[in-house]
Structure 1
């Protein structure tokens, strides 16, 4: 069983995440930011998306970060805390909370711009981390975004992994390569090193190829190619490698073999956040002691759920919604 990865004696059901969450401005459909269109303000961040997804499924989750001592910082911490996530975010009086702007066309994301240079989270360092938050957790979840923010965030990631290794806490890494933050040449060796220190690595086909130094896939990836990439990632050091294949589903590989879970066909409204939702679903099953195949299946369920409504995390389901789904067309009155 995949549950043998979890340290004996722990109470299953606790995950800690580490990374930046920003204020998110989304233009209305057909609206242009430069035209002065009214823009609602929300939040978004890969690691907090995962933490929120886990909390909605009843898994105890913690989000570690650094935010500006400003209105956006207050919004970010209030929203995440309101979702039942424990927030461990230091306030920075000298740097602002980051911001991203998502422009829509025909109801779908068209362009996303980030304003995160010199943000509070770019100053996130080892001193912002309470070691007990990691040592008391079952899983530490990281992404490749945090080390891309600067040298101090990279040190924070390395320190968090060091604590996890000493404590027997599993390390989960979603590659999440962001070309706007660093080049492929800069990212590949750093992310490969972090992947080698992780227990579980998640990647898309292009990201896996980047770490392995393989040619990027052309014409779309196949299940067979996904398995080949996952086996390549295992060679870097993790016990489990998962390649997310979008509409095809996901492939997971361990030393014991490979498993494939197909995704259900859905009508996609907004795919942003689907990868984070997949990780949340996967980790929710992992901390419950489920098999690798069941982890993949739950990842697909959550990834698909998020794709069916606008927003990075708003479509994440609760455990009750998964257990007792409404038939199509039914209304609760």
Structure 2
């Protein structure tokens, strides 16, 4: 892919080995599974797949090792229509990989993953990565990409910066919201950042503090309870407000793996197409719910046509 993508996702890409089992095995026990597969993963990479699947021009900037896993992870993204020309191949670090066991009995997952350090400064990625980032309308990053992305954006004049969305479902030490347009944690991560109770009042207060610290908008997810948005007039000049949209019901859930990543991709897909907050949350909730029909976080992600059919629009 050439040209300027509307969205560049910066952060983690992984190669995952997945197993769906009726129950978790005990020590030294062999359990026959229903499905075993190899899939791509990673918060920023999964969001990029959603955006591409829903017709947006998107690139991924991240790091892989000089190994077969890295080549496979890149090929999976490219096959979805994601521009991977800004991906860094680093012989000093392996491609992040995980073994994930999903229990049908508990509808939970157990993950064993490699430890991979935060991304290096964006200048390390080379001229193509910076070209993609500089020309984008939006950057979407995760917990490992936020540090270098924020540092780079602060080196640019404010008028030349792309808008920045952050998937904050994982802890981010030293969180800096001063350059963030859209801060998107889970409600649990949101209240934990300010050591507040995980109840309605605590969630609302944590969102207020995030806006006070510089975020222009906050979107938080709480699984089956749905999602919320809070925004200030700094987001797009319109009056500040808040909205809650319930979760989608009636989906035959196979696995929730990657659903949060998919939600963020669906949210940005709606926003870059001009959707308002209620519509963006509705589309993001539905995109994430539909992705849960498959074992991995990518296979069942709906196209825009499939999403519109599901929502009746």
Deviation (angstroms), 1:268: 3.0
SS in structure 1 opposite 2:248? Answer: coil
Q: 1:210 — aligned with what?
A: 192
Task: Select the residue among 297, 300, 308 that pairs with 2:293.
Answer: 308
SS in structure 2 opposite 1:110? Answer: strand
What is the TM-score with the length of structure 1 in the denominator? 0.78
Q: 1:299 — aligned with what?
A: 284
- For the 8 Å contact 1:302–1:316, the answer to whether it is kept is yes
Q: 2:133 — aligned with what?
A: 134
1:206, 1:28 → 2: CA distance?
26
Deviation (angstroms), 1:285: 1.4
User: 1:23 and 2:19 equivalent?
Assistant: no
User: 1:283 and 2:284 equivalent?
Assistant: no
1:324, 1:205 → 2: CA distance?
29
Q: 1:96 — aligned with what?
A: 94
Q: 1:50 — aligned with what?
A: 47
SS in structure 2 opposite 1:231? Answer: helix
User: 1:146 and 2:145 equivalent?
Assistant: yes
TM alignment of 1:1-333, pairs within 5 A: 14-30=6-22, 40-87=37-84, 88-106=86-104, 108-117=107-116, 125-128=122-125, 130-146=129-145, 154-155=147-148, 157-160=150-153, 162-163=155-156, 165=158, 167-178=160-171, 187-188=172-173, 190-191=174-175, 193=176, 195-211=177-193, 213-217=194-198, 221-222=199-200, 225-255=202-232, 256-266=240-250, 267-325=252-310
- Give 5+ residue unaligned stretches, structure 1: 1-11, 148-153, 179-186, 328-333
2:230, 2:113 → 1: CA distance?
34
SS in structure 2 opposite 1:290? Answer: coil
Shift in CA distance, 160/81, structure 1 to aligned 2, threshold 3 Å: farther
Shift in CA distance, 56/105, structure 1 to aligned 2, threshold 3 Å: same
- For the 8 Å contact 1:164–1:170, the answer to whether it is kept is no
- For the 8 Å contact 2:65–2:94, the answer to whether it is kept is yes
Per-residue displacement from partner, 1:270-291 (whole Å, max 9, x unpaired)? 1121111111111111111221
Please tell me the root mean square deviation across aligned C-alpha atoms, in Å: 2.9
Deviation (angstroms), 1:299: 1.1
Per-residue displacement from partner, 1:96-143 (whole Å, max 9, x unpaired)? 21211101223744310111346xx75575321532211211100111
Deviation (angstroms), 1:155: 3.5
1:301, 1:49 → 2: CA distance?
16
Shift in CA distance, 40/262, structure 1 to aligned 2, threshold 3 Å: closer
SS in structure 1 opposite 2:21? Answer: coil
SS in structure 2 opposite 1:173? Answer: strand
What is the TM-score with the length of structure 2 in the denominator? 0.83
Shift in CA distance, 164/29, structure 1 to aligned 2, threshold 3 Å: farther
Deviation (angstroms), 1:326: 11
